[in-house]
Amino acid sequence: MGQAAGNATERIAGEQHMPISMPRNILLVLLAATLAAAPVCQAAGTPINQESPKPAVSAPAALETGTASQAKADDDGYAETAPAPVADPLYRWNKFWFGFNHLFFSGFMRPLAKGYAIVVPRFVRTGLTNAYQNFIFPIRFVNALLQLNFTKAQREFGRFMINSTIGVGGLMDVAKADPNLQPGNEDFGQTLGSWGIGDGFYIVWPFLGPSSARDTVGLAGDAVANPLFWIFGPWAVYGDDNPWYLSYIVKAGDVFNNLPTTLETYDSVTKPAVDPYSAIKDAYIQYRRNAVSQ
Amino acid sequence: MLRSLSRLFASLALVTALAAPALAGAPTETLSVSIDKIIALLADPAYKNPDTRPAMRAKLLTSIDAVFDMKELSRRALGAQWNNFSPEQQQRFVTAFGQLLQNTYLDKIESYTDEKVQYLKEQDLGPGKAEVDTKVVGKGKEIPISYRLSDRNGWKVYDVVIEGVSLVQNYRTQFGQILVNESPDALIAKIAAKKS
């Protein structure tokens, strides 16, 4: 009898504790959800891959290999440089937003970027980029772990520790001086790729630019792994007054800070091109496939 | 025991030392000689002088022509479509495409300042083909550039891969897209019409 009563009080005490530990639980649940999202994404990626060959130009079977190996020798002699072309079922949508992005960035934003590059010296722009890249180190670190690439994870961790301290909060990339601590660029799209998921199909997003079905899922994963998501997220880990749009302002600021360099890269692809749309599409897919294979 | 071990290591070291130069084979050798020659021309003060510049540029173009296999590059840029071109069209295509590449890349080559080229490794791409991986190191910038060469009476470049993006494949995607709706002649006209 007395024992039963004791149990009951314990249970009540336990129930009373529940609400207090709730916020921490939510964090854990979210973290678990992030990790659990990975297999879901994988499941989501597979059907995309199987459907996509329909509008592909040729050789749909090779799409499934994902990391199209270039070393595949063939009789016709040019096969080694001919991995499967990416499917483009949303051609009209893509072409429209490609044109829109071109007008917006290359037309409207270019003078602003040029002015910015003149007013703000290069070392300041590089410093800002370094600091932001250092700040979003969890994205690269988590993805290196998800790829089971512990060398890369170790490298990212080492870079973060050195640059956050000696590099004054990441403003200076001092770790780069060490050949073993070169900057990496792991992201969730590459992680999905390393798990054997192909590009899916090509898609151009307004403002964000060229992407693929797989890399779009990757962008969502990266957004969650970004510390900004946890600081300014809608659920406000630290109090309710944090305006959610601050994270977008920081991200847009980073895009603008890098715009002079981005436009340079854009020009180096589109200027020599006979068909700029196809040139950007192919350059994006080739660049990503190469990144996945490394 | 210790002595034989050290002898083993010594002989291993010797073998490695002898094998090292063999790693940098004929493709790397040919490529680096050509690149050195091009850099020497660009670094020559005569290149900056407006009077001697045209002559120097002619020399530069000859050096570049000598190391690039423009016909092979064109053939690969068209892929399977190459066979749908008549020999006469192929000829015109090679000329127009070569001119396009020259127009667009000469400026970049001429903007050379003091970048250094590092030769990283050489890969075998099958019989008579090789890839030479290099890194161009400039002011706070490093660009990985790989050259693919084939051996036809001497090693010549048929593709350049910058940051993982193959030039030939990029053009093949473009030309393939254009040839879906347009004739070979229209494509050649389009290439010829493109200035810089």
pLDDT in tens, chain A (294 residues): 444 444 444 444 434 443 333 333 443 444 444 444 433 333 333 333 333 333 334 333 333 333 333 333 343 454 454 677 899 999 999 999 999 999 999 999 999 999 999 999 999 999 999 999 999 999 999 999 999 999 999 999 999 999 999 999 999 999 998 988 999 999 999 999 999 999 999 999 999 999 999 999 999 999 999 998 888 766 655 656 667 788 899 999 999 999 999 999 999 999 999 999 999 999 999 999 999 998
How would residue B104 be classed by pLDDT, with cut points 50, 70 and 90? confident
* Beta-sheet strands, E only, within chain B: 116-124, 129-138, 141-151, 155-162, 165-166
Alpha helices by DSSP H, A52-109: 91-101
> Taking a C-beta distance cutoff of 8 angstroms, is the pair B124, A70 a contact?
no
Cα distance between residue B184 and residue B175, in whole Å: 9
How would residue B5 be classed by pLDDT, with cut points 50, 70 and 90? low
pLDDT for A83: 73
Contact of B191 with chain A, judged by CB distance below 8 Å, is answered with yes
Query: A110-119 and A246-270 helices cross at what angle (nearest 10)?
Result: 100
Backbone torsions φ then ψ of A247, nearest 5 degrees = -65, -35
ipTM score of the complex?
A: 0.82
Considering only CB atoms, A291 lies closest to which of B129, B164, B191, namely B164
* Beta-sheet strands, E only, within chain A: 202-205, 209-212
Which run of H or of E encompasses A40? helix A2-51
- Whether residue B49 is predicted with pLDDT greater than 90 in this model: the reply is no
Chain A residue numbers touching B172 (CB-CB < 8 A): 81-82
Closest chain A residue to B103 measured between Cα atoms?
A272
> Does the distance separating the beta carbons of B178 and A274 come in below 8 Å?
yes
Q: Which of B165, B179, B187 to mutate to test binding with chain A, by most A CBs within 10 Å of its CB?
A: B165
How would residue B24 be classed by pLDDT, with cut points 50, 70 and 90? low
- Rounded to the nearest integer, the mean pLDDT of chain B is 86
Q: What's the distance, Cα to Cα, between the start and end of chain B in Å?
A: 69
Q: Does residue B141 sit in helix, strand or coil?
A: strand
Cα distance between residue A55 and residue A88, in whole Å: 7
Q: Tokens 């200035």 map to which residue? A: B195
Residue B15 or residue A109, greater confidence: A109
Strand partners, B161: B146, B166
Q: How many Cβ atoms sit within 10 Å of the Cβ of residue A19? A: 8
Chain A residue numbers touching B173 (CB-CB < 8 A): 85, 278-279, 281-282
Which two tokens mark B69?
């296999």
Chain A residue numbers touching B79 (CB-CB < 8 A): 78, 82
Q: How much of chain B exceeds pLDDT 70, in percent?
A: 87
Contact of B168 with chain A, judged by CB distance below 8 Å, is answered with yes
Considering only CB atoms, B176 lies closest to which of A57, A126, A291, namely A57
Considering only CB atoms, B174 lies closest to which of A82, A273, A287, namely A273
- The tens digit of pLDDT for each residue in B123-145 reads 888 889 999 999 999 877 888 99
Cα distance between residue B74 and residue B96, in whole Å: 10
- Whether residue B191 is predicted with pLDDT greater than 90 in this model: the reply is yes
Alpha carbon B151 to chain centroid distance? 13
DSSP A64: G
Beta-carbon contacts of residue A215 (< 8 Å; ≥ 6 apart): A189, A199, A288
> Does the distance separating the beta carbons of B166 and A286 come in below 8 Å?
yes
Distance from CA of B165 to the nearest CA of A (A): 5
What's the whole-model pTM score?
0.77
